[in-house]
Every structure is written in structure tokens, then in C-alpha cells.
Amino acid sequence: MKRENITIPVTLHTADVTQMSQTDQLKARSRGLFYIADGEEKKPFALELDELTAGGIDTISDAAKEIAKHFGIYKQRARDASGGKTGDYIFMVRVKNPAGGELSARQWIALDQAADRYANGTLRLTSREGIQFHFVKGRDLAELVRHIGAPLRDGGCGLSTLGACGDVNRNTMCSPIDDLDRDLPLDARSLAHAIARELAPRTSAYAQIFLADEEGRTVAPLTHDEPIYGAHYLPRKFKVGIAHPHDNSIDLLTQDVGFLPVVNGKSDEEYDLYAGGGLGITHNQPETQQLLGVHLGRVPREQVVETVRAIALLQKEHGERKNRRQARWKYTLRRLGVDSVRTALRERFGIRLTDAPPQPIPEVQYHHGWHPEAGAEERFFYGLPVENGRLQDTPSVRMRTAVRTIVEALDLRLRITPNQDLLLCHVPAARREWVERVLGEHGVAGLHEISRLRRLAMACPAKPTCGLAMTDAERLLPRYVSSLEAAGLGEVDVVIRMAGCPNSCSRPPTAEIGIYGYGKNDYVIQVGGRRDGTRIGKILYERARGERMEAILKGLVGAIRDHNPDGLPAGEFLFRTPTEQLRRLIGFE
């Protein structure tokens, strides 16, 4: 909307639903996600799902696709080598998993079974501590979601996919070592779960569509009231994370809302509050920006959940509803003004937000190998590196089977890390050697056998499944790492992250070397992020051809090792070294 050459945002306060984006109109007319209401036509989502299950249609409609995201489901199509969407219609299903778990042995076994029954035999650990199933066929979609949601007593996972995607609060993150850290055990995990419960959609649609009997699925919604989200839900996705004073693996400043415990002795009575982070942009759209969260102040622990709820309400009311590229909270916050948001939190919502200098933000930790756990018993957790989060069995490495064997034998619990790795938790001291032996017998490399470079690298799934991906990432980064290892650079201490598009799900902009796709065979290379996530890297190459990538990376990593006389951390060296000088060191002008 424009008034006297001033652009007025399209919000719930300034416009009616007809002026909003097509996605917002679909949400508003869905009656709590129950119906697919495209134009004048309206039908229950469950009917289209039934057609899909019966094989009457190859995939769901585009209108249903937008609703399905709120159920943790992405409509996809397999892609060929050039990126064309020419293959089978498939789905990705994401499990909501607050605080990275903790998943019980029975839950893990049920998830592991689902990978073979309904997907492609892999469990994909995500950078938001969730789990994804890939290559799910349409006929299996409903049954997979039911299996995930079914109680443990019925052989299900006792979990949910509701809100794992869509315009709601997504998986609420927490440091995976929150209560395990022997020097500073906390209980922020309970806050993460409380936030997830508070901001979960309340509509009956999910239960009626996927978990109820036939009668319950096909009638009108039992309830469609959303006390927080309303009929329109949020303008875009919303992400929350809680760091630990010893670990910023959640990348605190990239969250819509982030918290860092303020510790007095062993107590976390207050939390530093950050808001307005987000790394996604759109190529050639300069109004989209990679932004880090800003410090708003300090809140008492007992108001952490209220604070997130208040910010979600501000975003619902004031977020842009027409241009989805401007709809994230990071833009709303800056448009409203930081001081205005602080005032609203204090005066409207009663948040006891105090002004205080922020405490130092810790570095991202990886937690690989054995670590003693907090508590009276002598127990350990083992951080298992999972390359790019793809837990699978191959002819030479049967990692998925190894993990299940260990979990079943020891009744272990597991957590997923923001670096797409797995923590095997609560291992008795006497069973550590056995765990290592089982891993070795299944071909899983020990830490000493995996280069530092490979352990720290991370990529998103990208092609061939993600519909937004412009390039490969997960399939390509291991090849780049192998090339660097062959060049003798495997032990250089540098974080490389790669994504298939500028949505940056694997967080390349805050990495020491970040790569994301631009076109079918071009990449943006961004360098100089900090290991504590407090700096976005600078653009080294706006577009680098795929054929040059290995040579560029060898030059970059070699420069960190050979032209860094002060021994600076990799990110600091890359950030301080002038761009043209870096290009000369690499060998490409």
C-alpha cells in the first residue's frame, strides 16, 4: 500500500485479507488449517490426502501445499542433474523436536523403523535439531505422519510434525549440553519445551486429519481458535533458540528470538534477550538482508515464555502480509524501532525487561567424542559426527545400524545438535569401550580418523529434493573436503558451511567460509564469520563458477595455514585480510 509516496506495510492493522499475499489468504480461509480454500472452492484437506493415499492424484495441489507446511510436510519433486524438477513427486516430512530431544530409545527405534517403511532408509538430522524423512511417496505420507504421532504404546514415535514448518514458531532450539555440562548444568531445556507448547497451533485440524478416525477426519473442525496466531497465523516462519554460557551451537544471533542465560553462581535467574536475527535473502533483492539479532535487555527466567509470546503477537499484528520477502520479524523489528519494541514489551505485556550490558557470547561448540556428564553417577555422552546430518547405512559404513544397536542394548537416549550431529547420552563409564567397539565393527570411523575440516563442515540437503535449492550442497561438500584433505589441508581449523540457496539453512553467512548457491552452477563465497556467531562474513566472490570451487577453497584454506603469521583464528584472518589480497593469495583475481 502507498499513501503520498510513503509505502505503508500491509498488516492486520492496515489492510483486509484481500490485500494480502495468496498464502495469507489461504491461511485465513482455512479455518485453522482444516480446509483448502482456493478462491471460491473449499474442501477438507483430509479429502485431498485420501486421494493421494489411494493413488488418485500424484501429489497435492499448490493450495494444499501451503497448508501442509504447517503440518511439517513439504511437497517436492525429484530433480535431475541439471536441477530440473522432472522426477517423481515426493514429500519431505519434518519431526518437531524441541531442544534437540531428548529422544528415548523407544522413540529412536520407531523413527529408525519409519526410515525404511516410509522413506529412503535415512534419517536426516537438521541444523535446527530436528529430523527429516526424505523421498516419502504420496501413498505413504499419511501413514508416516500417523506413525510419528502415534503413542509409544502403539508402536509409534510419540512425537509430532505439527509446526515443524509453516508460518508459526518452528522447532525451539536449546544447547544440547544444557543440563549435561558438568561445570554448569542448567535447565533451559524445560523453557524450550514450554515455549514449544505455548506457541504450538491449537487447531484441531492436525489431529482430525492425521490421527482421528474417518468420522473425525471428514467433518468440520472441532475447534479452529488460535489464541496466539489468530486466523492468519504469523506472516512468516518464526524461530527461537536458547544458548548456554559455554556453547553457542544454536547460533544465538541468527534467531528471531534468542536467549542466553545469565548465570550467578549456578543459577540462571535472568536471560539476555536478543531479537531480529535471520540470514535468508533473495538474490538481486537488496532490500533483503542478512541480519544478526540485537540485544533488547535482560528478562527474568520466569518471563522467558511470556516474552516469546509477546514478540510473536507483535509480529502477528505488525508483520508485512503482502511481500513475503519482507515478512520476517527481523524486518518488522527494525521498522517498528528497537525502542518501540522495548516499550511494548514493558508497558503492554508487563515484561520486566531491564537494561544491562550483554554478557559475552560463547563460541559454537561441536561436542565430538566423549564428555563427562553432570550428576552423581559416572556417565558420559558421546558426540558422534554425522557427515551433513545424513544418518544412513552404506556398503562400507553402517552408521544407522550401529546407532540402533547401541541404543537398543543400553536403552540410551539421544540428542541432535545444531551442527547436525548426534549425542549418545548417559553412557555408563564401563560401557564406553563397548560403544566404540560397536561403532568400529560397523565401519564408523573414530574421531582420530576423521579430519578436523570434515568434522566442522556442514551442508543443507539442497538438490535433489529441496525445491528452493539452486545448487547441490550435501552431495557436493564432501567432495570438496576430500580434495582439501588430499592437498594436505585436512587439519586446518576452519568452519566451512554450504547451502544450496540464499535461505542459508546451514548458516553459511556466520561461518568462517560460507558458500551458497546462485544459479545452476554458481556460488556466492562469503568469508570471515566468527566462531561465536557475532559477525556476518564479507562477500569474497559474488559469483564463482562450480569448476573453480575446489581451487578457490584450496587457496583459501591454504592461505589460512600458510599466510597467517599471527596465528589468528581462521575467521579473523579472513575478515581482516583485504578482499583483493585474499583473491591474490587464492590465485584468482
Q: What is the 3-state secondary structure (H, E, C) of 535-586?
A: CCCEEEEEEEEHHHHHHHHHHHHHHHHHCCCCCCCHHHHHHHCCHHHHHHHH
In a shared domain, residues 194 and 333: yes
Cell numbers given for 19: 490485500
Query: What confidence category does residue 216 fall into, taking pLDDT thresholds of 50, 70 and 90?
Result: confident
Q: Are 45 and 34 in contact (CB under 8 A)?
A: yes
The predicted pLDDT at position 6 comes to: 59
pLDDT score of 447 more than 80: yes
In a shared domain, residues 179 and 324: yes
CATH number for position 376: 3.90.480.10
pLDDT score of 4 more than 60: no
Q: Does some domain include residue 342?
A: yes
Distance CA 468, CA 236 (A): 16
> Which SS3 state, helix, strand or coil, does residue 295 take?
strand
pLDDT score of 468 more than 80: yes
> Which whole number is the average pLDDT over 559-569?
96
pLDDT score of 561 more than 60: yes
Domain endpoint, select from 327, 345, 364:
364
In a shared domain, residues 259 and 196: yes
Mind listing the pLDDT tens digit for each residue in 161-170?
A: 999 999 999 9
Q: Does some domain include residue 334?
A: yes
In the 8-state DSSP scheme, what is residue 218?
Answer: H
pLDDT score of 361 more than 80: yes
Mind listing the pLDDT tens digit for each residue in 103-155?
A: 999 999 999 999 999 999 999 999 999 999 999 999 999 999 999 999 999 99
pLDDT score of 459 more than 60: yes
In a shared domain, residues 402 and 441: yes
Q: How many domains would you assign to the chain?
A: 3
Distance CA 40, CA 404 (A): 50
Average pLDDT over all residues of the chain:
95
In a shared domain, residues 188 and 324: yes
Q: Does some domain include residue 59?
A: no
Q: Does some domain include residue 395?
A: yes
Q: Does some domain include residue 115?
A: no
The predicted pLDDT at position 497 comes to: 98
Domain endpoint, select from 325, 341, 364:
364
Phi-psi region of 14 (alpha: psi -120 to 50; beta: other; left: phi over 0): alpha
The predicted pLDDT at position 144 comes to: 98
Domain endpoint, select from 339, 364, 389:
364
Mind listing the pLDDT tens digit for each residue in 21-62?
A: 999 999 999 999 999 998 778 999 999 999 999 999 999 999
β-bridge partners, 496? 513
pLDDT score of 159 more than 70: yes
> Which whole number is the average pLDDT over 195-214?
94
In a shared domain, residues 417 and 530: no
pLDDT score of 440 more than 90: yes
The predicted pLDDT at position 1 comes to: 56
Mind listing the pLDDT tens digit for each residue in 291-323?
A: 999 999 999 999 999 999 999 999 999 999 999
pLDDT score of 588 more than 80: no
CA quadruple 309, 314, 320, 325: dihedral positive or negative?
Answer: negative
In a shared domain, residues 442 and 534: no
Q: Does some domain include residue 421?
A: yes
In a shared domain, residues 186 and 304: yes
In a shared domain, residues 567 and 439: no
Helix (H) or strand (E) holding 482: helix 477-486
The mean-pLDDT minimum among 208-217, 377-386, 403-412, 501-510 falls in 208-217
Mind listing the pLDDT tens digit for each residue in 475-512?
A: 999 999 999 999 999 999 999 999 999 999 999 999 99
CATH number for position 331: 3.30.413.10
Mind listing the pLDDT tens digit for each residue in 402-415?
A: 999 999 999 999 99
Burial 84-115 (b: 16+ CB within 10 A, else e): eeeeebbbbbbbbbbbbbbbbbbbbbbbbebb
Residue % of the chain over a pLDDT of 70: 98
Distance CA 231, CA 193 (A): 24
Q: Does some domain include residue 568?
A: yes
> Which whole number is the average pLDDT over 554-569?
97
In a shared domain, residues 293 and 403: no
In a shared domain, residues 320 and 375: no
The predicted pLDDT at position 453 comes to: 98
> Which whole number is the average pLDDT over 436-450?
97
In a shared domain, residues 301 and 427: no
The predicted pLDDT at position 83 comes to: 67
Q: Does some domain include residue 418?
A: yes
Domain that holds residue 380: 369-446
Query: What confidence category does residue 589 fall into, taking pLDDT thresholds of 50, 70 and 90?
Result: low
pTM: 0.96
Distance from chain centroid for Cα 340: 29
pLDDT score of 82 more than 80: no
The predicted pLDDT at position 193 comes to: 98
